Structure 1
Amino acid sequence: MRNWILPEYISDVLPSEARQIESMRRRLLDQFTLYGYEQVEPPLVEYVESLLTQQDAALDLKTFKLVDELSGRQMGLRADITPQVARIDAHILNRQGVTRLCYTGSVLCTRPDGLLSTRQPRQIGAEMYGCADLAADVEIIELMFASLAEAGIKDISLEVGHIGLFNAIADAANWQGEQRQAAFNALQQKDTPTLAALSVKLNEELRTGLMALPTSYGDVSILERVRSLLPALPQITVALDNLQQLYAALTVRGIAVRFDLAELPGSYYHTGLVFNAYAKGFTNAVARGGRYDSVGEKFGRSRPATGFSIDLRSLTSVPFPARKAGILAPQGEEASLLEMIRSLRAQGEIVIVDLGVEQSEVHVDRTLQQKEGVWQVISL
């Protein structure tokens, strides 16, 4: 007898978990609707060039590829839905004003994000296109918090960074290609020895600024401290001002903020603010987001954009109400029995027809029995 073993970091979703994922999916989509976000459903597979918004080595590495037998072209299984939504906004909808879109669906990655992650997340997210104002980022973060609360997540903390700080230093250092990627990876991992080795030929101002980023973590006071350590570049001033303004706007809304200036996303399409939401009991971030203003450029429209995403499968450890107990009904063709079953289901009751049911394997606490010619629901 053969062992049916699934690939590493790939797993089945069994009934109780599937019920929880589907319940959260519906509730979160309803939450998005309250904010004016419209749902789109991109395809699971596309030509590879459509799945990568630019030369994104990280996303390219995570994308499964195959050959389309109809066209002979290379196709990819999506590893991230954001580039697809950007294509829809830029190439299909072509709206002139602000566009709010949301989505949900499975993605497939060649490798997991961590030891406790899956390679087939169930992604759900919301994105706003066409607004460069900080108000768009504030709305997205507010919606992210409301969505996590709707999913039953409590004690949420927000960490915010800005990729513009690293980009400004890397541009001033004229880092390109592998050298820039190596510095990006080292900062992402807070690998200060590697950063020190890579920056040894930089002038003192750039080197001091770069080495300050991995240790720049904490409350709002960290922003003032790094102003004196980072080089006086226009991009850096704008980024720090942006972070300060975001702090003020979120504080008014009761959202506490901490900063991590070495917080960098895994994909290259982000251009500004980046943020992660963490919660007690979870090893990894429960939601991620940020600004990606050039994401639609490849599709002909470089519109400002910001958004967040959640992996629904990662949230299934949250306490969830037990499944409602059902009613066990006998099998039969009698009209009154069939009408009673239909009536109970119309009232929202779960009715399981006994076609060979083992009561220990189903969740029922009542049975449908006929007494004196009338069908009645009887407690077990």
Structure 2
Amino acid sequence: MSTSAITSSQPDLLPEGLEDRLPREAATTTRVMRAIHGVMHGHGYDRVLPPMVEFDETLGARMAGIRSRRMFRFVDPQSLRMLILRGDHTPQIGRIAASRLSAAARPLRLCYAGQVVLIRGDGLDPARERLQCGAELIGADNVAAASEIVATAIEALQAAGATGVSVDFTLPDLVDVLAAQALPLAPDAIEGVRRELDTKDAGGLVDAGGAGYVPLLYATGDFDRAIERLAAFDTTGVLAGRIAALREISVRLDGRARLTLDPSERHGFEYQSWFGFTLYADGVRGLLGRGGTYRIAGPNGGEVATGFSLFPDALIDRLAVAEPVEDCVFLPLGHDADAAARLRAIGWRTIAALSATDNAAALGCSHLLTVDGPVPV
């Protein structure tokens, strides 16, 4: 069917991967955003509001690995320069930190919340517009910073209503570190080894020239067991610092969530450095967020940072089913305006009649304002 035929026969059709959120889902979204922001704010993260559109070269230049080709790009009719529609807040936070807030004390704690849009969905998830909430700790990427970021992300998800939160740790630069020292690889073989590790294919890994990397396929799962297998694999000690850091982060989290390890996982970690993690929760399909350490490009080698991004849409979908209906007071024609104002001041919602035919029950009101105050409908 042609685009014109779809438009004429279904004029209200939305583009693939985009959807409306109706009142109940919108209410849940607002509550979840407030809960997440409340946790980040409580831990000292200041919110910033970057624009939806930026210059393509500005956004891409701040962080290596940003896949700007996945984002909507178009020419600015005023400057005639290429613009890009935001697909990820993180590089925008990096730009703000490196420019407008370059003189601010470090470590700098910033947070954000808003929509991001991509040209196509990710894997089995067809959504092209997603809510992204997150926090960035700029100027630090040590164990303390990583522990704070992971703990804050867990707390934010739990405050939003997630249960059974689990965290899967990874080492995004693992293959690069091993290929440079302990298990040398030809430059043209590195990408093939990464790919076979991602697919967990032992035979393919051997065929790609990575026979020595096969034990990494079994250093996965429950954190305590997997970290021991990773330590046994690291006979040269090249990973000793990273292994010690992961163990310390685990101790600092002190049972806040279930911990697992997949040291070679690379999907979604385009710009992270030595540490990365993915967040999941019971009853929620797919991941709820990811984070890790990275570097913001700039003078003198740039600046290190640690952060996380939450994508709570799937959690919102699950919670919206049970979103409670708020009490609401119907205000009849000629009602006492001062009494109605006092009700709103203490948290009531009110709906005022605009004609004699307006009906409290039909408008979803739970109470009716009378001279004696609100009474159930």
Shared fold (TM-score, shorter chain, > 0.5): yes
Partner of 2:220: 217
Identical aligned pairs, as a percentage?
A: 27
Distance 1:220 1:337, change over 3 A: same
**Unpaired stretches in structure 1, ≥5 consecutive residues:** 201-206
Q: Distance in 2 between matches of 1:348 and 1:227?
A: 56
The alpha-carbon deviation at position 62 of structure 1 amounts to: 1.9
- Could you say what secondary structure the match of 2:342 adopts? helix
Contact 1:107 1:122 in 2 (8 A): yes
Q: Distance in 2 between matches of 1:175 and 1:101?
A: 40
Contact 1:326 1:352 in 2 (8 A): yes
Instruction: State how 1:261-276 maps to structure 2 within 5 Å.
Output: 261-276=263-278
| CA displacement 1:65-91 (0-9 Å, x = unmatched) | 111111111111111101110111112
Q: Distance in 2 between matches of 1:54 and 1:135?
A: 23
Question: How many residues are aligned here?
Answer: 360
Partner of 2:49: 41
The alpha-carbon deviation at position 30 of structure 1 amounts to: 1.6
Partner of 2:319: 318
Contact 1:164 1:239 in 2 (8 A): no
Q: Distance in 2 between matches of 1:190 and 1:310?
A: 26
Distance 1:368 1:195, change over 3 A: same
Instruction: State how 1:114-125 maps to structure 2 within 5 Å.
Output: 114-116=123-125, 118-125=127-134
Contact 1:87 1:299 in 2 (8 A): no
Contact 2:165 2:281 in 1 (8 A): yes
Contact 1:265 1:274 in 2 (8 A): no
**2:174 corresponds to 1:168:** no
Instruction: State how 1:321-336 maps to structure 2 within 5 Å.
Output: 321-332=323-334
**2:355 corresponds to 1:352:** no
Which of these residues, 243, 246, 271, is aligned with residue 243 of structure 1?
A: 246
Q: Distance in 1 between matches of 2:229 and 2:367?
A: 66
Partner of 1:204: none
Contact 2:64 2:271 in 1 (8 A): no
Q: Could you tell me which amino acid in structure 2 is paired with residue 323 of structure 1?
A: V
The alpha-carbon deviation at position 186 of structure 1 amounts to: 3.5
Partner of 1:149: 158
The alpha-carbon deviation at position 179 of structure 1 amounts to: 5.4
**Unpaired stretches in structure 2, ≥5 consecutive residues:** 1-7
The alpha-carbon deviation at position 144 of structure 1 amounts to: 1.1
The alpha-carbon deviation at position 363 of structure 1 amounts to: 2.4
The alpha-carbon deviation at position 360 of structure 1 amounts to: 5.5
Contact 1:90 1:301 in 2 (8 A): no
Q: Distance in 1 between matches of 2:192 and 2:76?
A: 34
Instruction: State how 1:77-116 maps to structure 2 within 5 Å.
Output: 77-94=85-102, 95-116=104-125
| CA displacement 1:22-46 (0-9 Å, x = unmatched) | 1111122121111111111111111
The alpha-carbon deviation at position 55 of structure 1 amounts to: 4.8
Distance 1:290 1:2, change over 3 A: same
**2:18 corresponds to 1:18:** no
Q: Distance in 1 between matches of 2:189 and 2:64?
A: 15
- Could you say what secondary structure the match of 2:80 adopts? coil
Q: Distance in 2 between matches of 1:118 and 1:379?
A: 41
Partner of 1:229: 233
- Could you say what secondary structure the match of 1:344 adopts? helix
Contact 2:143 2:249 in 1 (8 A): yes
Distance 1:340 1:226, change over 3 A: closer
Contact 2:56 2:84 in 1 (8 A): yes
